Structures are given as C-alpha cells and as structure tokens.
C-alpha cells in the first residue's frame, strides 16, 4: 500500500504537471520524501525538494536513483508531447517507450509499490468516435506521441497481469495551469491564451476557432492523480488508461470566456501543423469508468478556471513576475 510513509519519485519533474505535483506530494508525504528527477533543472516555481538529474532512457541510472532514495512509488511523467513528437519522432519513441519500459522493469525487479504513468487523448485517432469518446474504443493514433501512449497503456496492462505490478494512469486531456508552462503539446494554446490576454490583450492561436478539445484545470489534474493512486486496487477494472475530463471548448469559446474578464481581448487564428493533430483527437470524453471505479469528479468548468487563471496571472503581472 502507498502510505503516508512512502518515498516518491517524480520523473519529468520540471514539466507542467511535474512542477505542481511536487507541491501536492510534498504536502501529502513531506518534502523530505519527494525526489524530483528530470534531465532539465527544476522550474523556478518548484518547491524545495530532493533532486536528481535523470535521463529516463538510461535504465541503470533510473534504478540507481530509485535505490539511492529507497523509492517505493513513481510518478512517471517524463515524455515528449504531441507537437514536439512530430518534429522529432525518433526522440519521442526513445524517451516515451524506453522511459516507460525502464520504469516498469524497475518496478518488477525492485518490487515498487505503485506507479502512475499518464496516457493522453492522443491515444485516440481519426477512426475513434469523436464525441463522448468511450473508455474502450478504437486506438489507432496517427502521431508518434499517440502511438507511444497506446503502447504504454498496453505494456502497463501486461505488467499488471503478468507480474502483478500496481500501475495506474489517466488519459489526460489538455491541462491548463499557471505554474510551469507546458512544452511541445497541441493543447499548449489553451494556456498561452491566458498569458497573452493578461500581457498583451491579444493572441494569435495556432488552432482554428472551432477546434473543440477536452480540457482540465491543474487542480483537477492533481486531484485525479492523487485520487486514482489512493483507490483500492481491487476495485479497478482498468489500470493505466482511464478517460478523465472536466470540460470541452473551442478557442473561440475560450476567448469569449476571457473577454468577459478582459473586455476587448482579441484573437487571430493562424492554424499550423498542430491543427491536423487536434483534428485527429476527440472533442469530448466519456469518463464514466473513472467516475464509477474510483469516484472521479472534476471541480472546474471553463468559467471557474478562466476566473482563477486571470486573477492569478493579473496579480503576478502587476508584481512584474508573470514568468512568460
């Protein structure tokens, strides 16, 4: 059982989710029990915690870090996201596949208690039903990132069934936050739009105005990770592939929500290669399996999230500390 005495490792700790997960895990387990690992230095918004430089493709080093800190639980967030994955598919394969294989092998060999490995809406593809996408459906993605996520989900199921390793994970939609910026994803626009609205009152969006995608605010993302990790394993019929969502909107609808708080906010649309990626993803998700199996329920919708994002960013901007 993961308990309050766990020692946890977060890979990809400098990233958008990693930076804020470090804070949440520090509160839960105590900062002395949280080890941050990344190939990059931590974000300036990260809390004080133990840190190791780690390239997740290096299996021996991965195991060395786990042994050195007597880690029993890993949150394996290190990954190359969808847009960067199309720019450098070979790197996406190696980081996403070798990294996932290495953490699973470490769990098997070293007897880790529990692992969290996120998947993504990128696991779906153009042949998947796009509206209210079912939990169990066609998984034929067209991006390198997406296919590594499908392989990761299947590999996780294999390690659960074959070796009894306890692995959990969610298919995350676009995650919106104000801690560390996202890097190299197709949904990054939904974060940048708030920063640009606060800083410049205008934004040039790399997706078209009617591109509807599922999204989630960071507090809900952290809640989903912690709740899924705390759930009774015996009650889970799925493992590392739970659909989770909080809202779905288009860039035009998000701009309208922002305009209610920043009147006169202007958006120009210049779709680039990321449009094709977004067009191959669901518009909305059916997350009833997560709701039934471990009680998933989000708190934030578009209005509540926009209000919070803009309040936080306007305050930081006024203090000369927007970080963008």
Question: Out of 29, 51, 101, 145, which one is annotated catalytic?
Answer: 145
Q: What is the DSSP letter of 94?
A: I
Q: How far is the CB of 57 from ligand AKB (least distance, A)?
A: 19
Tell me if 235 sits within 8 A of 298, measured CB to CB.
no
Q: Which residues of 112-150 are buried (b: 16+ CB within 10 A; e: fewer)?
A: bbbbbbbbbbbbbbeebeeeebebeeebebbbbbbbbbb
Tell me if 298 sits within 8 A of 246, measured CB to CB.
yes
Active site residue 158: no
Tell me if 130 sits within 8 A of 282, measured CB to CB.
yes
Compare residues 119 and 306 and give the one whose CB is closer to ligand AKB. 119
Q: How far is the CB of 283 from ligand AKB (least distance, A)?
A: 13
Compare residues 47 and 183 and give the one whose CB is closer to ligand AKB. 183
Residues that bind ligand AKB (CB under 6 A): 81-82, 120-122, 145, 172, 174, 185-187
Q: How far is the CB of 133 from ligand AKB (least distance, A)?
A: 13
Compare residues 172 and 194 and give the one whose CB is closer to ligand AKB. 172
Compare residues 185 and 219 and give the one whose CB is closer to ligand AKB. 185
Distance (Å, whole) CA 180 – CA 46: 8
Q: Is the dihedral of CA 41, 85, 220, 257 positive or negative?
A: positive
Q: How far is the CB of 145 from ligand AKB (least distance, A)?
A: 6
Catalytic residues: 145
């Amino acid at each position: 059982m993961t308990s309050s005495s766990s020692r946890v490792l977060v890979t990809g700790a400098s990233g958008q989710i990693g930076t804020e997960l470090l804070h949440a895990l520090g509160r839960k387990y105590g900062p002395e029990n949280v080890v941050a690992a990344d190939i990059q230095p931590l974000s300036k918004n990260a809390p004080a915690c133990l840190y190791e430089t780690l390239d997740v493709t290096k299996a021996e080093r991965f195991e060395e870090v786990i042994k050195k800190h007597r880690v029993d639980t890993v949150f394996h967030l290190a990954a190359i996201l969808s847009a960067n994955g199309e720019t450098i598919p070979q790197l996406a394969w190696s980081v996403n596949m070798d990294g996932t294989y290495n953490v699973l092998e470490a769990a098997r060999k070293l007897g880790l208690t529990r692992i969290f490995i996120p998947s993504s809406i990128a696991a779906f593809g153009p042949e998947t039903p796009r509206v209210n996408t079912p939990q169990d459906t066609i998984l034929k993605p067209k991006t390198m990132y997406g296919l590594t996520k499908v392989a990761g989900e299947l590999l996780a199921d294999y390690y659960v069934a074959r070796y009894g390793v306890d692995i959990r994970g969610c298919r995350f939609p676009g995650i919106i936050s104000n801690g560390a910026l996202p890097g190299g994803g197709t949904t990054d626009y939904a974060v940048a739009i708030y920063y640009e609205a606060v800083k410049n009152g205008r934004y040039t969006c790399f997706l078209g105005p009617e591109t509807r995608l599922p999204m989630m605010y960071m507090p809900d993302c952290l809640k989903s990770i912690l709740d899924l990790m705390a759930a009774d394993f015996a009650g889970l019929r799925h493992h590392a592939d739970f659909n989770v969502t909080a809202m779905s909107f288009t860039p035009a609808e998000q701009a309208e929500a922002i305009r209610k708080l920043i009147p006169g906010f202007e958006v120009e649309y210049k779709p680039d290669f990321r449009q094709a990626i977004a067009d191959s993803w669901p518009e909305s998700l059916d997350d009833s399996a997560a709701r039934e199996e471990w009680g998933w329920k989000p708190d934030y919708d578009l209005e509540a999230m926009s209000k919070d994002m803009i309040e936080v960013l306007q305050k930081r901007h006024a203090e000369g500390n927007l970080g963008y």
